[in-house]
Amino acid sequence: MPLPRTRGTALRQRLAELRGPEVPAKALDARALAALAANPGCKRRAILDGAGVNKTALASALGSPSAFGQSQFALTRGNAFEAKVKADGGAELLRLVHERLDRRAEPPTEAHVPDLAAIGPEGRTARTALALREASGTQGWTLLDHPMLALDVAGSPAFLEPDAVVVHPDGSWTVVEIKSFPMLDGSADPSKVGAAARQAAVYVLALEEVAARVEPAPRVRHRVLLVCPKDFSNLPTASAVDIRKQRAVTARQLTRLTRVEDIADALPEGTCFAPDLPSGELTAAVESVPATYAPECLSACELAFHCRDRSRADGAVTSLGRSVRAELGGLTTVEEVLAAARGEAGDPDDPAVAALRRAAELRAEALGVTACR
Ligand code: SF4
């Protein structure tokens, strides 16, 4: 539900203050949103993303630059491939959608490609919604090239730009993701396909919000089209990807995010994440927001090296992985775990403590030493 105007304005102003004066907001893309949903307990990431902070610049200013992002070469290659896929009014792209997802429909001989230009993300979102509504009743093929969708994330709107959305003759909508990693013999790297599916799931959720406002509501397909270069060529090939599971997980995780407003209210007065602040001040600002570091952050968040260092310095067991953390129950630091294993602390009836003591005994036995008690 949108915030009342005054509350929404106050929140936007507060988020701008957190970002720093004159610092432009970084739009939250689907990749970032999927990563945010993968770690819903992390308030640090939620407030930084909600405020539009450029985490890459922030990580560098903190002295722990991220190892993230595509090289210029990869970006150029990706853009060239996308342009090739969408050439001739999207003829090849629509052929692939028809072939992989909708063989029963009339083959696309021509397609409508509406102009989606408008001022600002809100204007583009409204233009996209109108184009989708109009296209749903035409009984033909429509290609929306880089539409703009909005999704409410922890109480603040995130604007998302899928590569394309196709409206089928039956009025249903399909998300298309165009990636530059290759599809070899019909299959691609599963981890990359998984990441693309999580991204597409975010777009599907945003599209469903648009569809819910159309009468009768069009069907948003839960099989998306992934287009990649075929083998080692730059010829497009495609595969239908079922994103039902990713959609359900992402929808659930997004509802678990703490509201950005509540996190902002809990921050000390004057907190600011502007990357040009002195590093001590910046570190204090970042550390004032609780984080839940896990090794998975290394492949999903620009602040991972900073948070890992902090987590290790605190001896937090989360830096060993979520599964280890879950096994250790109430023991949250490495020090507590070692003390429990040595029999110096912990409740012996606690299964985690008992298992640690048993493990320490077995280790001592194997090494021929006496376990510390
Ligand atoms: S790296 Fe830090 S800020 Fe990013 S998700 Fe992990 S704990 Fe949160």
CA distance 283 to 264: 17
Helices (H), 105-189: 120-136
Tell whether ligand 1 has an atom less than 6 A from the beta carbon of residue 53.
no
Q: What is the mean pLDDT of the chain?
A: 89
pLDDT value of position 70: 66
pLDDT value of position 347: 86
Q: 157 falls in which pLDDT band (50, 70, 90)?
A: confident
Q: 368 falls in which pLDDT band (50, 70, 90)?
A: confident
Tell whether ligand 1 has an atom less than 6 A from the beta carbon of residue 39.
yes
Helices (H), 221-369: 244-256, 260-266, 279-287, 304-313, 322-327, 334-342, 351-367
Tell whether ligand 1 has an atom less than 6 A from the beta carbon of residue 303.
yes
CA distance 234 to 154: 39
Percent residues over pLDDT 70 in the chain: 95
Q: 1 falls in which pLDDT band (50, 70, 90)?
A: very low
**For residue 113, which amino acid is it?**
V
Does residue 69 have a pLDDT over 80? no
pLDDT value of position 7: 59
The model's pTM: 0.75
Structure tokens of 217?
């509501």
- Is 226:238 a contact under the CB 8 Å cutoff? yes
Antiparallel, parallel or unpaired: β 173-178 and 223-229? parallel
Does residue 158 have a pLDDT over 90? no
Tell whether ligand 1 has an atom less than 6 A from the beta carbon of residue 32.
no
- Is 146:15 a contact under the CB 8 Å cutoff? no
301 CA distance to ligand 1 middle (Å): 6
The mean per-residue pLDDT over the stretch 134-145 comes to 93
**CA 194 to chain CA centroid, nearest Å:** 12
CA distance 223 to 175: 8
- The candidate with the shortest Cα–Cα distance to 312, out of 279, 356, 304, is 304
Tell whether ligand 1 has an atom less than 6 A from the beta carbon of residue 292.
yes
Which residues are CB-neighbours of 271 under 8 A, at least 6 positions away? 18, 285, 288
41 CA distance to ligand 1 middle (Å): 10
Ligand 1 atom index nearest CA of 45? 3
In eight-state DSSP terms, residue 294 is -
- The candidate with the shortest Cα–Cα distance to 282, out of 97, 48, 31, is 48
- On the CB side of 329, CA atoms within 13 Å amount to 13
DSSP H or E run through 236: strand 236-242
Q: Of 15-19, 81-85, 117-121, 324-328, where does mean pLDDT reach its minimum? A: 324-328
DSSP H or E run through 191: helix 190-211
242 CA distance to ligand 1 middle (Å): 28
